Amino acid sequence: MSEVYFRLPKAEIDSRIAQLKDQLRSTNLDGALLMTPSELYYYSGVGTGGIVYVPAEDNAIRLVERNMELVEAYSLIPEIRPMGRMSQLFETLNIPSASKIAVEGDVIPYSLMSYLQSKAAGIHLSDGSDMFRRIRSRKSDYEIGLINAAADIVDRSFDYCTEIATPEMTEIALSMRLDAWMVENGHAGFITTRAFDSEMLIYSYVVSSSGSTLNTFFTPVSGVGLSLKYPLGPTRQKLGRNQPFLVDSCGNKNGYHSDTTRTFVCGKFDDALNSKLDKLSQIKSFLAKKMKPGASLGELYGEVIELSKELGIHDQFMGVNKNKVAFIGHGVGLELDELPIFYSKGPNLEQGNVLACEPKIITPGREVLGIEDTYAITSTGNKLLSTAPDRFEIS
């Protein structure tokens, strides 16, 4: 097979499997069954359908549903077997009766979970999703490099945005132009989310002030979209002159996501808008000083909320009234909505966490302003991975 795909280093896969085995042993579990594309890719290096089985005390196995040739060419788990019948899964994997096996209970459909348990013959299946997500929340330097590359694609797309955006252009037209540019310049396609029913077709969400609405999705602000089946995202509303609009773009480099938002205007920001954007930049600077290993995201969330009050923007900060979202940021990686979550009960930061922080000011139908950046937590502080200017004026 010709070399058409990017390969993950074997040392990365070996380290991940070793971490998972350590966690399995420390929690008295005998193995883990992994089925989603993110976990299949993370542990084997190829996301095509099948299962990765990691026993606590034996070698990992990659089962393949179809296209065995592809998996044999790219899997970094050497033991590869055909999937076979799902009803015979536990026999195929030689899992002893009375074993305790962790599965992705947060995303596996109830019908599949029930079916597997009915065929388990004394094997106990338990939800290991929190364990799996916590392992992936601590990125290696290699992974952070890929997320940095994803953020760089987005940074450069913002420069392209200044070359093509006009007051007469619609939100959806600009989104499509930006998406095409990113794919042509290294974006891997697809945005993977873990949350239920959260498909994302578009990589660059453009939301104009007049076309904005409150969060119909899991974001502080969204457009109203193109249909009532999907009432979110870009619309056919024109950008307008001297009216701010957001470009919220998700990068993807070989499966790893970044998340960046910038505020644009075709024309000029007036003094009032610049003042509000300056206040968002103050919050960004505050976060950059505070985020380091051991820092409590829960405590930091409270400090940011208090700062928004001191700056006089709290009423519109992260939404208005009952539609305020209860977070300021989220982890990113192989999925857009990874751990840790930056909210009032958020955990302490750890080295290797990568998260997007997104302070925004929203007055629905009138004004949207925002900055979102992707940060990697280092041994002593943090590294800003998205480096585009906070705002853009397009003449």
Classify residue 353: in a domain, yes or no: yes
Classify residue 344: in a domain, yes or no: yes
- Identify whether residues 104 and 149 lie together within a single domain: no
Q: State residue 345's pLDDT score.
A: 97
Residue 230 pLDDT > 90: no
Q: What is the mean pLDDT of residues 326-342?
A: 97
Mean pLDDT of the chain: 94
- Identify whether residues 244 and 355 lie together within a single domain: yes
Classify residue 322: in a domain, yes or no: yes
Q: State residue 319's pLDDT score.
A: 87
- Identify whether residues 125 and 168 lie together within a single domain: no
- Identify whether residues 234 and 363 lie together within a single domain: yes
List the one residue out of 390, 332, 334 whose CA is nearest residue 359: 390
Classify residue 2: in a domain, yes or no: no
- Identify whether residues 154 and 225 lie together within a single domain: yes
Q: State residue 322's pLDDT score.
A: 81
Q: What is the mean pLDDT of residues 195-221?
A: 72
**CATH number for position 94:** 3.40.350.10
Which segments within the chain are labelled E, that is strand?
31-34, 50-55, 61-64, 80-82, 100-103, 124-127, 204-208, 212-214, 221-223, 245-253, 256-266, 327-331, 338-343, 354-357, 360-363, 367-370, 373-377, 382-384, 391-394
Question: If residue 148 lies in a helix (H) or strand (E), which one and from where to where?
Answer: helix 141-164
- Identify whether residues 129 and 229 lie together within a single domain: no
- pLDDT per residue over 31-42, tens digit each? 999 999 999 999
Whether the CB-CB separation of 47 and 38 falls below 8 Å is answered with: yes
- Identify whether residues 312 and 365 lie together within a single domain: yes
What percent of the chain is predicted at pLDDT more than 90? Answer: 84
- pLDDT per residue over 87-125, tens digit each? 999 999 999 999 999 999 999 999 999 999 999 989 999
More confident residue, 224 or 134: 134
- Identify whether residues 307 and 352 lie together within a single domain: yes
Domain boundary among the residues 84, 119, 136 is at: 136
- Identify whether residues 252 and 385 lie together within a single domain: yes
- Identify whether residues 63 and 189 lie together within a single domain: no
Q: State residue 1's pLDDT score.
A: 43
Classify residue 5: in a domain, yes or no: no
Domain membership of residue 270 as a residue range? 138-394
Q: State residue 355's pLDDT score.
A: 98
Residue 278 pLDDT > 60: yes
Q: What is the mean pLDDT of residues 50-70?
A: 97
Classify residue 132: in a domain, yes or no: yes
Q: What is the mean pLDDT of residues 81-85?
A: 95
- Identify whether residues 295 and 164 lie together within a single domain: yes
Classify residue 1: in a domain, yes or no: no
Q: What is the mean pLDDT of residues 161-187?
A: 97
Q: State residue 133's pLDDT score.
A: 98
CA distance 178 to 205: 9
Q: How many CB atoms lie within 10 A of CB 204?
A: 24
Q: State residue 3's pLDDT score.
A: 59
CA distance 214 to 226: 15
CA distance 270 to 326: 30
Residue 132 pLDDT > 60: yes
Residue 213 pLDDT > 70: no
- Identify whether residues 129 and 217 lie together within a single domain: no
On the question of a cis peptide bond just before residue 340, with omega within 30 degrees of 0, the verdict is yes
Total number of domains in the chain: 2
Domain boundary among the residues 136, 168, 201 is at: 136
- What the block records as the tokens of 164 is 């093509």
Residue 214 pLDDT > 70: no
Domain boundary among the residues 85, 108, 136 is at: 136
More confident residue, 13 or 323: 13
**CATH number for position 226:** 3.90.230.10
Classify residue 3: in a domain, yes or no: no
CA distance 53 to 35: 9
